[in-house]
């Protein structure tokens, strides 16, 4: 079993990596195709949920969101409409969740 | 393997098995890299082969375009100093970029021929990688190529029709470009 300090160090390192991802993405979005901005944002959401899963803080809804993102995110490369629909669906999933429904 | 099969069969792999690529195979892949065409034979390139897990992790930290856990990463760099010395501004600004692009394709086709998947990644922090490796100003990392044994191989993406992009008759070219 890992000590609480060990877990904290791991979390710190994971969050450092996530933050480096966000900052680097921000820099690259200056030149990258417009649609890569939304792509990095949802990919960042997926990475954040992954961290929550590792810390056992993600519920079924969030795990479903991550799977949905990971299954559909690469459509940004060759099917713009499909990718935008994924973003719409995810947004509605969160709205449904807020209203008390299931989502995902 | 037939060259044409490699050209058509290669995919951008973003999911790798947890298995190292033997050094002999990496050496063979890099040999293919240095035999690519080069404007004025400048060969104004540098390749950094990264195999160590910690180093791969560090690069991945600054590379939003890398997915999965590659077994190795090749940092493909332009050598602006050499490019300028051999071929002036044309070499520095244009040819060196073309040269590393052709070398990169060689790398990916050679890898495919050896059963190794690859993915060319431009979405990475150029300045961060320069800092990590203390690269001098004239060595510019332009592309990362991830390598590893594929866990999943994606379906081929749609291609534009050959008739839309390849033109054979001089008189019809202009009207089709409008």
pLDDT band at A102 (very low <50, low <70, confident <90, very high): low
Report the C-alpha gap between A74 and A39 in whole angstroms. Answer: 9
Q: How many domains does chain B have?
A: 1
Whether residue B157 and residue A77 make contact (CB cut-off 8 A), yes or no, is: yes
Q: How far apart are the first and last CA of chain B?
A: 40
Instruction: Tell which residue, B138, B123, B97, has the closest CA to residue A30.
Output: B123
Q: What token pair was written down for B11?
A: 């995919």
- Domain extents in chain A: 4-99
What is the ipTM for the molecules in this complex?
0.80
Q: Which residue of B has its CA nearest to A75?
A: B157
- The boundaries of the domain holding residue B75 are 3-177
Q: Do B63 and A24 touch (CB under 8 A)?
A: yes
Q: Which domain CATH number covers B19?
A: 3.40.109.10
Does residue B158 belong to the interface with chain A, where contact is any CB pair within 8 Å? yes
Q: Give Cα A61 distance to the centre of its chain.
A: 13
The residue in chain A having the minimum alpha-carbon distance to the alpha carbon of residue B15 is A70
| A-to-B residue pairs, Cβ atoms closer than 8 angstroms | 33
Residues of B in contact with A43 (CB under 8 A): 64
pLDDT in tens, B29-72: 999 999 999 999 999 999 999 999 999 999 999 999 999 999 99
For residue range B114-171, list pLDDT tens digits in order: 999 999 999 999 999 999 999 999 999 999 999 999 999 999 988 999 988 998 887 7
Q: Is the minimum CB–CB distance between B155 and chain A shorter than 8 Å? A: no
What's the Rg (C-alpha) of chain A?
15
Reduce the DSSP state of residue B120 to 3 states and report it: strand
Binary contact (B64, A17; C-beta < 8 A): no
B64 → closest Cβ in A16, A24, A78: A24
Residues A43, B64: C-beta atoms closer than 8 Å: yes
User: pTM for this structure?
Assistant: 0.89
Instruction: Tell me whether residues A74 and B154 touch, CB distance under 8 A.
Output: yes
Query: Which ranges of chain A would DSSP assign to H, the alpha helix?
Result: 4-29, 36-54, 60-72, 80-99
Phi-psi region of B157 (alpha: psi -120 to 50; beta: other; left: phi over 0): beta
The yes-or-no verdict on residue A2 having pLDDT over 60 is no
B157 and chain A: CB distance < 8 Å anywhere? yes
Q: Do A24 and B157 touch (CB under 8 A)?
A: no
- Residue A3 has a pLDDT of 65
CA torsion sign for B152, A79, A87, B70 is: positive
Euclidean distance between CA atoms B142 and B122, whole angstroms: 7
Give CA separation, B27 vs B21, B23, B32, in Å: 10, 6, 9
Average pLDDT score over chain A = 91
Are residues B90 and B12 in contact, defined by beta-carbon separation less than 8 angstroms?
no
Q: How far from B58 is each of B94, B108, B140, CA to CA, in Å?
A: 30, 22, 18
Structure tokens at A3: 């000590």
């Amino acid at each position: 079993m890992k000590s609480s300090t060990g877990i904290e160090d791991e979390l710190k390192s994971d969050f450092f990596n996530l933050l480096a991802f966000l900052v680097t993405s921000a820099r690259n979005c200056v030149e990258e195709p417009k649609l890569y901005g939304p792509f990095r944002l949802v990919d960042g959401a997926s990475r954040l949920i992954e961290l929550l899963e590792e810390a056992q803080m993600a519920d079924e809804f969030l795990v479903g969101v991550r799977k949905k993102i990971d299954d559909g995110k690469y459509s940004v490369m060759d099917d713009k409409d499909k990718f935008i629909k994924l973003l719409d669906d995810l947004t509605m999933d969160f709205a449904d969740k807020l209203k008390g429904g299931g989502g995902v | 393997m037939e060259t044409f099969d490699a050209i058509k069969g290669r995919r951008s792999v973003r999911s790798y098995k947890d298995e190292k690529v033997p050094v002999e195979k990496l050496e063979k892949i890099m040999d293919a890299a240095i035999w690519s065409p080069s404007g004025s034979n400048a060969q104004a390139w540098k390749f950094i082969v990264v195999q160590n897990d910690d180093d791969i992790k560090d690069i991945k930290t600054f590379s939003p375009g890398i997915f999965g856990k590659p077994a190795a990463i090749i940092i493909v760099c332009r050598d602006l100093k050499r490019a300028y010395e051999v071929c002036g501004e044309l070499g520095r600004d244009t040819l060196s970029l073309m040269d590393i692009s052709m070398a990169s394709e060689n790398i990916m086709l050679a890898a495919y021929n050896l059963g190794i998947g690859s993915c060319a990644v431009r979405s990475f922090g150029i300045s961060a990688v320069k800092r990590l490796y203390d690269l001098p100003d004239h060595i510019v990392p332009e592309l990362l190529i991830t390598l590893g044994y594929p866990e999943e191989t994606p379906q081929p993406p749609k291609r534009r029709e050959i008739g839309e992009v390849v033109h054979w008759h001089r008189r019809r070219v202009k009207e089709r470009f409008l």
